[in-house]
Amino acid sequence: MRFAIGDTDFLLDGEPHRILSGAIHYFRVHPDLWADRIRKAKLMGLNTIETYVAWNAHAPSPASFSFEDGLDLGRFLDLVAEEGMHAIVRPGPYICAEWTNGGLPYWLFTDGTVGVRRDEPGFLAAVQGYLEHLAPVLVPRQIDQGGPIVLVQVENEYGAYGSDPVYLRKLEAMHRAIGLTVPFTSVDQPMGTMLEDGSLPSLHKTGSFGSRSTSRLERLRQAQPTGPLMCSEFWDGWFDSWGEHHHTTPAAASASDLDDLLAAGGSVNIYMFHGGTNFGFTNGANDKGVYRPIATSYDYDAPLDEAGRPTAKFHAFRSVIERYAPVPALPASMQPGGSGHLSSSGLEARLVPATDVAVRLDRVASLRSLLPALTDWSTHDAPPTFDALGAASGFVLYRTEVDLPSGGVLTVGDEVRDRAIVSVDGTVVGVLEREHHDRAIALPAVTGTLELLVEDQGRVDYGPRIGEPKGLIGGVSVDGVPLARWSASPIALDPVPAAALDVLAAIEPTDGDVLAGPVFAAGSFDLDSADDRYLRLDGFRKGVAWVNGFCLGRYWSRGPQRTLAVPGPVLRSGRNDVVVLELHAAAARTVHLLAEPDLGHTEA
């Protein structure tokens, strides 16, 4: 089959074709749930699945590149093909996506000489290597080779970042050189000169917007007089940041804008069809003067919620789509008010009622006591960055000895990235937060060990601060005198090393109803069936949680989300284990596995 761009339409084997696409990021969904999410996209009336490719997820270090397990992009695309659907792939190299560092590997920028998203030899050489790794997966899965891929996007909303046609031409040529033959696109907001700055005449321009469809398409047509109109990011919701409300948009209003778009003859990629979850330490952050880390849930108020269930928006969008294209019949479970669950055949409901389960965390060990199993210390004259230590994310512990008979004021030279728990001789003194622009804290009179447990809360994914290092930036001093002779170590948490889990498992259960952190707490629970659940940590303040060794991600009492998604495939019938790292203190030692998620308060 052939896919092409005509004067007015996309052409599938020479015939006009409208793309009805939905975004599913394979790296935000447990791989055993991919088929379910793709099938439900088809049931809403979509004919295409779109996904970014997260370079940094596949390449955690310069010497490694993985397509295993949840990163098996080939398997994901094959599942799309099995449903008889097409695919749009957006390999970036920059993707934004509210994903840590916008998908760019942290190690690209450790020596300070490699450029970011520009015509710079070091950056382009790394991109070339990245694309060569992708070639064996993408090239044979193009539609003209019998696969599902019909479009590939080059870069991502580049007009909002810069205007470098030389960079874009080289990037386009590199994509072609690995064997990609399908049409190439670009995407930008139809505002100002972004459409012109972010594209080339050889890249088919598409728009990104979530409202005012008619006027946005008019601006797109002004920038590109011929060719099919397409919104390749139709924003049907929004992401959440810690400390804000859970974002929602009215289903009727979003459906009306979708109707306007389709009535104008446009093609669409709904961003998101299913958002999924920022498992582990993968969330990004924004910094437009104030640092704002993205929440663990990426529900996005999408047609398919974080739990994989159809929402009112699913049915509203489906009603719009069926005016323009045939849609499959819905099984009973997918009808309004149904459970949203499908059997392996996709045709019948899985009507397994789930009950809430209380889990007492009765095995407790301080973070300090587990450090021998979690650390790999090195010595330095000044606090090194996460990046210099080879830490992509998570936590780094910094130590030095101090002699402060009268106390003093500790100051970080430039910036804390992103949050530091300060302690002396094991007693917490306070917290320095990037969000508050904290750089100084009073220390008591002490002669002993000063520690700063620094958390990367998510690398900036949008704007000029992409690629910045993490840690204690600019050195540390007390009363103006620099502190030297530091020890530093990343804290290995994803996954938690087996040696640390063995220590936790061997601890005798204890009584008590509170936790004083930083502390690990573990407990076990039994299930009759392994269905999706949601971990609620009422009374806990801030930390990270795991179930059966799978890192669910971060929790934070400031919300908005109040539960962490636990994918069914992570669970098992019988005995299961939950581990929590509480950084501060908890007023309870019981967590709950719920049948329903709670994403927090909304603006309304």
* Band of residue 334 on the pLDDT scale cut at 50, 70, 90: confident
Residue 382 CB contacts under 8 Å (≥ 6 apart), including other chains: 475, 476, 482, 484, 486
The boundaries of the domain holding residue 80 are 3-327
CA distances from 408 to 411, 420, 454, 477 (A): 10, 17, 20, 10
**Residue 599 located in a structural domain:** no
Q: 487 and 501 share a domain?
A: no
Same domain for 486 and 503 = no
CATH number of the domain bearing residue 60: 3.20.20.80
Angle made by CA atoms 244, 248, 251, in degrees to the nearest 5:
175
Q: What is the pLDDT of residue 339?
A: 64
For residue 491, the model assigns a pLDDT of 97
pTM: 0.96
Q: Which two tokens stand for residue 164?
A: 């470098």
* 3-class SS of residue 579: strand
Q: What is the DSSP letter of 538?
A: T
Averaged confidence pLDDT in the chain: 95
For the segment 199-256, what is each residue's pLDDT rounded down to a tens digit? 999 999 999 999 999 999 999 999 999 999 999 999 999 999 999 999 999 999 999 9
Q: How far apart are CA 29 and CA 37, in angstroms?
A: 9
Residue 336 included in any domain: no
Task: Decide if pLDDT at 349 tops 70.
Answer: no
| Greatest C-alpha distance within the chain | 82
Percent of the chain at pLDDT > 70 equals: 97
Looking up residue 469, the CATH number of its domain turns out to be 2.60.120.260
- Residue 103 is assigned to a structural domain of this protein: yes
Helix (H) or strand (E) holding 398: strand 394-404
pLDDT confidence tier of residue 53, bands split at 50, 70 and 90: very high
Main-chain phi, psi angles of 150, to 5 degrees: -110, -25
Residue 350 has pLDDT above 50, yes or no: no
pLDDT of residue 80: 98
489 residue type, one letter: S
**CA–CA gap between residue 60 and residue 293 (Å, rounded):** 21
Do 471 and 508 sit in the same domain of this protein?
A: no
Q: Give the sheet arrangement for strand 563-566, strand by strand.
A: 357-360, 590-594, 533-536, 563-566
Same domain? 478 vs 535 = no
Q: Is residue 20 located within the same domain as residue 89? A: yes
Assess whether pLDDT exceeds 60 at residue 347.
no
Q: Are residues 485 and 544 located together in one domain of the fold?
A: no
432 shares its domain with 580: no
| Helical segments of 416-563, H only | 498-506
Average pLDDT on 400-419 reads 97
Q: Is residue 350 part of a domain?
A: no
> Is the domain of 212 the same as that of 274?
yes
- The pLDDT, as a whole number, for residue 311 is 97
Tokens describing residue 317? 């969008």
Residue 116's identity, in one-letter code, is V
> How many independent structural domains does the chain possess?
3
Quick one: pLDDT band at residue 603, thresholds 50, 70, 90? confident
Statement to judge: residues 124 and 27 lie in one domain: yes
Question: Per the domain annotation, does 334 fall within a domain?
Answer: no
- Position 563 pLDDT exceeds 70: yes
pLDDT for residue 341 is more than 70? no
Q: Give the residue from 491, 526, 550 where a domain finishes.
A: 491
Mean pLDDT of 134-157: 98
Amino acid at 262: L
pLDDT (tens digit per residue) in 76-95 = 999 999 999 999 999 999 99
Handedness of CA 229, 193, 294, 96 (dihedral sign): positive
What is the C-alpha separation between 18 and 150, in angstroms, rounded? Answer: 12
The three-state secondary structure class of 99 is strand
Q: Tell me the average pLDDT across 342-369.
A: 72
Q: How many CB atoms lie within 10 A of CB 406?
A: 8
Residues known to be catalytic: 157, 233
Residue 333 lies in a domain: no
The residue-averaged pLDDT of 358-375 equals 97
Q: Which of 284, 319, 346, 255 is nearest to 34 (CA)?
A: 346
pLDDT of residue 342: 56
**pLDDT recorded at residue 485:** 94
Look at residue 15 in the predicted model and tell me its pLDDT.
98
* CB 561, CB 599: distance < 8 Å: yes
Say what the pLDDT of residue 336 is: 81
Q: How confident is the model at residue 415 (pLDDT cuts 50, 70, 90)?
A: very high
Q: How far apart are CA 276 and CA 214, in angstroms?
A: 30
Which residues does 480 contact at the CB level (< 8 Å), separation at least 6? 411
pLDDT at 346: 43
For residues 41 and 48, what is the distance between their CA atoms, to the nearest angstrom? 8
Whether residue 500 sits in one domain with residue 480: no
Of 451, 468, 491, the position where a domain reaches its end is 491
Residues 569 and 436 in one domain: no
**477 lies in some domain:** yes
Which among 445, 473, 491 is the end of a domain?
491
How many Å is the Cα radius of gyration of the chain?
A: 25
Q: Is the pLDDT of residue 353 over 80?
A: no
Residue 187 lies in a domain: yes
- For the chain, percent of residues with pLDDT exceeding 90: 94
Q: Can you list the positions of beta strands (E) in 55-183?
A: 86-90, 149-153
- Do 507 and 467 fall into the same domain? no
The residue among 317, 370, 277, 366 whose CA lies nearest residue 567 is 277
- Asked whether the bond before 44 is cis by omega within 30 degrees of 0, the reply is no
- For 491-536, the pLDDT digits (tens) are 999 999 999 999 999 999 999 999 999 999 999 999 998 899 999 9
